[in-house]
Each structure stands twice: as structure tokens, then as C-alpha cells.
Amino acid sequence: MIVLNVMIVIFLIVAALAIERTKDLLSAVIIFSVYSLMMSVLWLILKTPDVALTEAAIGAGVTSILFIAVISRTQRYEK
Amino acid sequence: MIEQLPIINLILLLTTALVIPLFKKQRFMVTLILSFVVLFIVWLSALYLLYHVNTTGAFYYRFGGYSPTIGLELLINPFSALFTFFVITLLMIIFIYSTADASDGIHEREYGRYYILMFILLFAMFGIIYTNDLFNTYVFMEILSITTCAIISIKRKKKNYAAAFRYVMLNEMGSLSYLFGVALLYMVTGYTNIELVFQGVQDVWVIYPTNIIIAAIFMIVGLGLKAAIFPLHIWLPDAHSAAPSSSSAILSAIVVKVYLIILVKVLFSVFGITIIEALHIPSLLMVIGAVGIVMGSFFAIAQHDIKRMLGYSSVAQIGYIVLGIGLASSLGLRIAFYHVFSHGIMKSVLFLSVGAVIYQRNLRKVTAYNGIGYMMPLSIGMFTLAALGMIGIPLTSGFISKFNLGIAALDGGQGIYIIILVVSGILNAIYYLPIIIAAFLRENPENQIYVSKDKVPLLMIMPILILGAFIVIIGVYPAIIFDLVDSAVSTFSF
Amino acid sequence: MKKPFIMLMFIALFVVLVINIMRMPAGLGTDSLSYNDATEHYIQYSAEETGVTNIIAAILTDYRAFDTLGETIILFTSIVAVISVLRPDKKPENEGRVSHE
Amino acid sequence: MNLVNDILAHVNFIGAMALFVIGLYMVVTHSNLIKRIMGINIMGTAIFYFFIAVGNVEDGAPPLLDPDGNALTFINPLPSVLILTGIVVVVSITVYSLSLVVRIYETYGTIDQKEMAQIEAEDDD
Amino acid sequence: MNDIIVKSITRLVIPFLQLYGIYIILHGHISPGGGFSGGALIGSSLILYTLVFGVDRAQKKFSHRVSEIAESGGILLYLFVGALGIALTGNFLSNKAAGFPLGELGSLLSGGIIPVLMIGIGIKVASTMITLFHVLIQEESQ
């Protein structure tokens, strides 16, 4: 289990850095959604199913949709 | 029944906020009357609680009857009762003003929403002051930050959006830093209740000092951001000058103070005097406060917009309170609390009288105040009184603050800070006096043109006069406040 | 010029945080500092005191229900705030007082 | 070898710290408003992750009691509760800031902090 | 969006999503989940409806007035249950101390006020999510 844990942590850090680097906001949001989903998987591994469920529904689902809704009304690219 | 009073207050405030949207838009008067009735009831019960805790002692309110290890509790002691009373009194007076001046940039359709936000704001401040739990404080802090930002952005101007965004970002960074500190403390103590965390921290301090240090730094920086302590004040002038006048008064006089109150709680109730003395936080706070006093005044001198000037003046005045907290003695804390009152009242008078000028003549430039002293004698008269208080002229509450702060500094062996107090008085005079002199001694025929309203309504003048009277009353008889403040200070052990 | 410096500051912050956390004991499980009498109480008595099997639900809506109330209020406030920002103005913009700044 | 074991034992804490610092870096340095909001979200999840790592117990079970009364070693339930509240809080703040972003784009024509500052400076002249 | 496949699949999926959300809310006290996750699920099912069929049709189904009542109502329910605790000689938000029946451990009808509060939270979260989404995507000109 520890191997999976370490892998997900590395993935999360890489995803966070990717969000920081990406100039295309839409891609950043999609990476963010994946990041949230991986986070909820990690929390499932750490035996907190309630929080994982909430994070999957709210963090990965609703937040990303709201981000996309706003990006569609504003700019897509960061300068 | 008395034990239920604090929670009944909270429920009343919240229910009012929830019921307002259910009214039809035309029934605006119903909303107003309801608001006043509720505010008055809450004010009465806050007054009664203040009397009660000062005569029979502090008590806890435990949700669901669970013990504090597992549940949540409110702590009603002289400290929290005093500050809830302060909050509700000042807010009620400003509220009277806002009923007449709600039009300052707020769209008619937003009135109802504005009052909802007001009640939630009050609810959150009551909750923060009463609660005895670190995480509960975080939750209320978030309610407070989102409401204050919404009050700024409700005035639909370009600058308000930018100011609100900046504010919400820094606020959120502050809250999350605070939460991170709570997480670090939770890691070593296993509780979120303030008293239990205090005991845990004292035990753990020997074993894991670095953890406590980092938690303390994160919590203090987070709260400092929200309370606009000097180097972290960048959001304040924008936010406070962009808000509607009555809200500027609320933000500057009350909301910022609430964060300072949490800071006091965190410093003296969570970490305790021994740990913060060991970390040299008090002396650091004193230096920060002193620098803030001077720099805030310097920035204020450079401003052209009067509301921005008042905002920077708040940064300087927060410096006094931080200096008082940093003395870390009962004398210092006593004067810090007194100055919370004194500054709260003076700054509301300043913002409200400027609001009256903006309401009648729409003047925001500092240089445009020539000769309006004779056209609006009451508002500008009260402005003058409050400005003299800020400078520290005797017979005003500002003088009492400065005088006692000097004594407290001498008592703590920090006599050097008296120089700061004198310098700050001079700097305050540099930016307030020209406005007053120009208002009464210079003439400017142009100002006649910009009259947009014939008269300032009585509902706007009355609160200014009442608060102005308070400046003199607590300046001449400071014992009224000091008696209450002393019992509040006695809840912290030194 | 400015950016590498800021980055360095953040790396320093990270190093400090990691050094601190490495000093803390980890993997102690039920012996760790935060696993205390409150936790034991939740696990042992929540069935008896609240009658539910999901301990998280018991804490969320019974022991610490006031927190949850605060959190629903945040949702309510956010709705009020968002609507106050985004609800379209039906009337034209230039009504009211004219600014002469 | 000792160090590797130490790191492995603390991996969740270290990950949380790294994410917290990355989030903070994003909020502080980026001038794009949406990126800053994402930074706030990353900071938030990092703190929640830290809480969960604190409450985690090796070989523990999720805090669900067995109605039949079988005793198990459970993880610490309190951090989960705090986080459930925290997630919703961060979402509310996110939504509110996003609505401000929409308005800022309509009034300023940009969602970049530096360009906004320029426009404000021009307005003041 | 005028894709017949998307529309029919959405029509097919949404009832299940909502049913699952309701299940999670109602079983919040005996299994993982609860008001937040269930409410967010129902909210996202409505968001899906809005994405596929457009804001106008979605707002007919879930009008502004309904959402206002749901938002205030969710919290008012919470407050009412809490205040019952005071009335029944307990403290605010008391459960067992105020004498609410706890029921049998592990059954659906157990836990006194807990399921009621969960329902209140679920209503609140679902309506908040959908209202926020509608407000965010509506254009100024409408």
C-alpha cells in the first residue's frame, strides 16, 4: 500500500506543478480536476471514505464545472 | 434561561437573515422594522449578559450538553460579553445611519441583500467572540470574510470588484494559514478546544518546540493579514475606501477589531504568556506596532482621497492596539482594549461624517474640503472632534489612550515607545489639521455647485452626534470603560 | 531578478516545514499524540449516545453540529454574495448621482 | 537507509507540505486571477490532506461501527469531520471569487492583476 | 446541444444519479456519505440537466423562488431542530439529552436528529450548487 501511496503523492505534486506551469487555463482546470480525483483516491486509501466521496463530488465535480463556466465567460489563456 | 441567552441571540440574528429574503421586495419597511426590533432585543440581552457575567461570573454554554473534550462550547466571560456588547452597540448606531444612506452606491434592489449580509456579519462576529473552539473560530472567520467582501462588492463599481477580489484572496490566505496552524496544533494536542489546547501546548512545548513555533507563526501571520497589522495591510485602504460609507465604518471600526480580538485569544489563551515570551513574540509585535503607527501615518499624509486617508489612518491606529497587546502586561492589554473602543467610536464618526459630506456634496478629494465647515457645521464639527481625538487632544478618548499607553510602556520598561506616540500625534496633526483648517477658514465658492441633496437627513446626523458625544464622555470619564475593560483583562492570566 | 528570489523563499519555507515534520513521530497509529481520550470517546460511546453507526455522521451532526450549522451558513452567504455580484442590472447604468472626480 | 524509512513514514506529511507551498506560491506570484483561485484550492486540499494524514492509523478501519458490536481499530474520526466542513467552505469562497472574476472581466476587459493595475492607474490620471 | 444521444442518455442517467444522491443522504448515518456528498450529487445531476437542455428549461424545473425557499428552508429546518433541543429542556442541538428517540443501532430510522439534519444539509447543498451554477453561466443580456 505504501508504494501506491508514494506514487500518488508524487503524482499529486507533479500535477500541482503542472497546474502552476500551464498557460492554458482550460488545461489547468482539467489537470486540477484530475488532481482532485487523485486526491480523493488517496483519501480513500487513507480510510476516510466520507471525505473521499465529498471531495470527488464537490472538488473534482462541481468546482471544475464552475471553473470551466467562468473560463468560458472570460479568457482562456494566461499571459 | 440566562444560560440560553447567548445562543438565543445567535439564533435571532441568523433567523432574521434567513427570513429577509422571503419578504416581497415592496415590503422594505417590514424588513427595516424587523431589523430594528431584533437588533434592539439582541442589544438588550448583550447588555444583560454583560451585567450578569460581571456580577455572577463567567459561564459556558455546551452544545448538546457534551463535555468540551468531545463537543463544542461557547464561553461567556467578561471579555466576550464586553466585546459582543461593543459590537452590537456600535453596529446598531451605524445601522441607523445606513438606513438613510443605503443609497451610497448600492442599487435599490440590493437593499434587502445588504441587510441579510449585515445580520450574517453580526452573527459571525458574535460567534467568533463567544466561541471557545479553534476550528469553530475558523468557520466563523470564513463567514465573516465572505460577508465583508460581499459588502464591498455589493456597490457595483469597477474598483469595488478589484478591491473585493484582492481582499478575498488575502483573507483566504489568512484563514488557510490560520487553519494550518490549527492543524499543526491538533497534531500535537488532539483537541480544538482552546483551554484543552492550552494545556496540551504547555506539555508538548518541551518536546516539540519547532512545531509550536511554526504553528504560532502561521496563526499570527494569518490573523495579522486579516487584521491589517502593518506590513500585511496592503488590502485595507482599497477595501475600506471602496465600500459604502456606513460599511467602511463597520469594516474599519468593528470587523478589523474582531480579528485583533482573536489574536489576543490566540496569543494569551492558546499559547499562553510563557511560550510567547520565550518566542519573543511580544517584543516583535511592539516593533511591528510602532513601525505601523509611523508608516501608516506617513502613507495617510500622501493620500488625496479622504476615505483612503482614513483607511491608512486605521492602519496606524491598529498599530496602537498591537503595541498595547505587545506589551503583554495587564496594563498593556487594558489599554489595547480601551483603544478598541476609542478607535472604534472615533473612526466611525470620521467615516460617517465623511459619508454625510459625500452624500450631500459628493466630495472625496482632500483638497476639496475648503469652506464646507459652514455649510455642514454638524458633520464637519463632529469630524473635527474625532480628528482631534485621533491627534490626542485632552478631553477626548484618544488622549486617554495615548496617555495610558505611554504609562503602560514606561511601566513595562519600554519608555522608547513614548517617542513613537509623540511622533504619531504630530503626524496625525499633519494630515487632519489641514482638512479642518481648510473646512473652516478657506472659502471655495465652487463647492456650492456640487450640492446634490438639499439636506442631510436627521437619521444620518443623529448617529454621528451620539457617537461624537461618546468620544467626549469616555474621554472625560474613562472609568466607565476601564471598569469593564479591567474585568475583561482579568480573564487572561499574566 | 525578482522571481528566483521569491522561489528561493518558498523553497526555504518548504525545507523548514519538512524539517519540522520529520522531527515529529509518524506511524504511531493509536499511540500518536492526537489519538487521545476524545477519539476513544467518539469510538466507544457514539453508538450509545447518538445511535448511529457512522461515527463521522455522529460527530458532524451531533457532537459538533454547531460547526456544520456555520458551514451551511457559509453556503447561504456565498449564494447571497454571488447573486449580489452577478444578478444583471435591469436599469441603465447612468442613473443616480453623477461623479465629478 | 534510515532517512529513506523516515521519509516513507512521513510521506503524507511531506506531500501535504509540498502542496501547501506550491499553492501558496501560486497565490502569491501569479497575476492571473483564475490561477490564484486555483492556488487557494490547492492550499486548501493540502491542509485537508495534512489533517487526514494526522488522523490516519496504520491498519485502521474507516470509522464505521459494526452494528453487531465487533471491535476494530478505527482511524481518528475528528479530522475527517473538520475537513468535511472545510471542503465546503473552500468551495464557497471559490465560487464567490469566480463571480468576482466574471465581473472584473466585464468591467476591466482583463483577468490579469498587472493589467488591472495599469488600467486603474490610467483611470486615476 | 442538440445531440439526441446525449439527450437520451442524460434523461436515462439523471434519475439514477438523483436516486443515488438521495440514498447517500438518507443512509448518511449508517454508511459513508451524508448531506454534503449526497447534496453535491443531486446538485451535479441538475447541473448535467442544465448543460444538456439549457438554462431556460432547467430554470423552469427549478425556479428561482423554489431555490430561495430551499436555501432558507434547509437552514431553518436545522435551526428548528436545534431550537427543539432548547424547548425540550436540553441545550441547542441536543440529541439524546433532549429525549429524541435514538432507535435501533444500524437501522434507517435511528440517530434521533441526525437524519433530519442530514436531510436539511442535503437540501441546502443541492440547491446551492445548482443556483450557483445557474447564476454563473447566465449572461448579462437576459
* Per-residue pLDDT tens over the stretch B378-423: 888 888 888 888 888 888 888 888 888 888 888 888 778 888 888 8
D contact chains, 3+ CB pairs < 8 A: A, B, C, E
> Can you give the pLDDT at residue A17?
93
Q: How far apart, in whole angstroms, are the C-alpha atoms of residue B247 and residue B110?
A: 14
pLDDT along chain E (142 residues), means of 10: 82 91 88 86 89 84 80 86 82 79 78 86 89 80 44
Largest CA distance in chain B: 72
Region A2-25 average pLDDT: 92
CB contact under 8 A, B162 and D36: no
CB B84 within 8 A of CB C55: no
B51 Cβ contact list (under 8 Å, min separation 6): none
Region D99-122 average pLDDT: 88
CB contact under 8 A, D62 and E140: no
Minimal CA separation from B30 to chain E, in Å: 18
Q: What is the DSSP code string of C16-52?
A: HHHHHHHHS--S-GGGSTTS-HHHHHHHHHHHHHH--
Q: How many Å separate Cα C88 from the centre of its chain?
A: 31
Dihedral (Cα; E73, E75, E76, E78), 10-degree rounding: 120
Residue B106's nearest CA partner among B59, B153, B42, B53 is B153
Q: How many Å separate Cα B246 from the centre of its chain?
A: 13
Q: How many CB atoms lie within 10 A of CB E57?
A: 12
Region C38-67 average pLDDT: 86
Name chain E contacts of D61, Cβ cutoff 8 Å.
none
Is the pLDDT at B444 greater than 50, yes or no?
Answer: yes
Minimal CA separation from E6 to chain A, in Å: 18
| Residue C58 contacts E where some CB pair is shorter than 8 Å | yes
Residue C13: pLDDT band (50, 70, 90) is: very high
Is the pLDDT at B138 greater than 50, yes or no?
Answer: yes
Residue B174: pLDDT band (50, 70, 90) is: very high
pLDDT in tens, B233-253: 888 888 888 888 888 888 888
B43 Cβ contact list (under 8 Å, min separation 6): B88, B89, B92
Region B111-120 average pLDDT: 86
The domain that holds D59 is classified in CATH as: 1.10.287.3510
Is the pLDDT at A66 greater than 60, yes or no?
Answer: yes
Cell of B28: 422594505
CB contact under 8 A, A47 and D91: no
What is the number of domains present in chain D?
1
Residue E99, phi then psi, degrees to nearest 5: 85, 20
CB contact under 8 A, B64 and E97: yes
Percent of chain B with pLDDT over 70: 95
Alpha helices for B57-110 (secondary structure H) = 78-101
Mean pLDDT of chain C: 80
Three-state DSSP at D75 gives coil
Q: Which domain holds residue D47?
A: 2-124
Q: How far apart, in whole angstroms, are the C-alpha atoms of residue C87 and residue E138?
A: 9
Region D45-65 average pLDDT: 87
pLDDT in tens, B7-56: 888 999 998 888 887 776 666 778 888 888 999 999 999 999 999 998 98
Task: Please return the burial class of C73, using the count of CB atoms within 10 Å of its CB with bins 0-12, 13-18 and 19+.
Answer: buried
CB contact under 8 A, D40 and B135: no
B429 Cβ contact list (under 8 Å, min separation 6): B391
Residue C72's nearest CA partner among B235, D92, D41 is D92
Q: How many CB atoms lie within 10 A of CB B371?
A: 18
> Can you give the pLDDT at residue B17?
87
Angle, vertex CA E72, rays to CA E68 and CA E73, nearest 5: 105
CA–CA distances in Å: residue E14 to residues B350, D27, E45, E128: 57, 37, 6, 18
CB B307 within 8 A of CB B351: yes
Q: What is the DSSP code string of B302-365?
A: T-SBHHHHHHHHHHHHHHHHHHHHHT-SHHHHHHHHHHHHHHHHHHHHHHHHHHHHHHHH---B
Residue D38: pLDDT band (50, 70, 90) is: very high
Residue B127's nearest CA partner among D64, C77, A6 is C77
Region B478-482 average pLDDT: 87
pLDDT in tens, B153-166: 888 788 889 889 99
Q: What is the DSSP code string of A4-72?
A: HHHHHHHHHHHHHHHHHH-SBHHHHHHHHHHHHHHHHHHHHHTT-HHHHHHIIIIIIIIIHHHHHHHHH
> Can you give the pLDDT at residue B224?
92
> Can you give the pLDDT at residue B475?
86
Region B87-98 average pLDDT: 89
| Better-scored residue on pLDDT, E17 or C1 | E17
Residue A4's nearest CA partner among A35, A37, A46 is A46
> Can you give the pLDDT at residue B453?
61
Is the pLDDT at C91 greater than 60, yes or no?
Answer: no
Greatest mean pLDDT range, B103-117, B346-360, B432-446:
B346-360
Residue C92: pLDDT band (50, 70, 90) is: very low
> Can you give the pLDDT at residue B1?
72
